[in-house]
Amino acid sequence: MLRLRVVSAAILAIGIAGVQPSFAQGAATGGAGKAAEQPAADKASRGTRAARSRREPTAGQMAARERQRKCGAEWKEAKAANRTGGTKWPQFWSRCNARLKGNQA
């Protein structure tokens, strides 16, 4: 029983003193210590790598986006006029997309 009280008092004293184990110090600072250690050149190079790796959308991707815009506009009009017939957006999108793809071919 005495040993338990001594251990509890030691844990309480460490907690009050604010002493943290070394593994918890990085977590307490939010990992800011690691970010401060990285050179500024490394931080600057991140943005340029991201810009270089960004590609232009393919023709198929651009066509899909255009079909989605058109179907979205049709959906908004139908919804405002209460002409959806109980269909939800996914079903409407599927039919509209198929219809627009059929017109392109």
Per-residue pLDDT reduced to its tens digit, 32-82: 555 555 556 555 556 666 666 789 999 999 999 999 999 999 999 999 999
Using the predicted structure, report yes or no on whether residue 12 has a pLDDT greater than 70: no
Helix ranges (DSSP H) in the chain:
2-17, 22-28, 32-37, 40-53, 59-80, 89-104
Using the predicted structure, report yes or no on whether residue 26 has a pLDDT greater than 70: no
| pLDDT in the model for residue 5 | 78
| pLDDT in the model for residue 20 | 59
Backbone angles phi, psi at 81, to 5 degrees: -90, 5
Q: Which residues contact 28 (CB under 8 A, 6 or more apart)?
A: 20
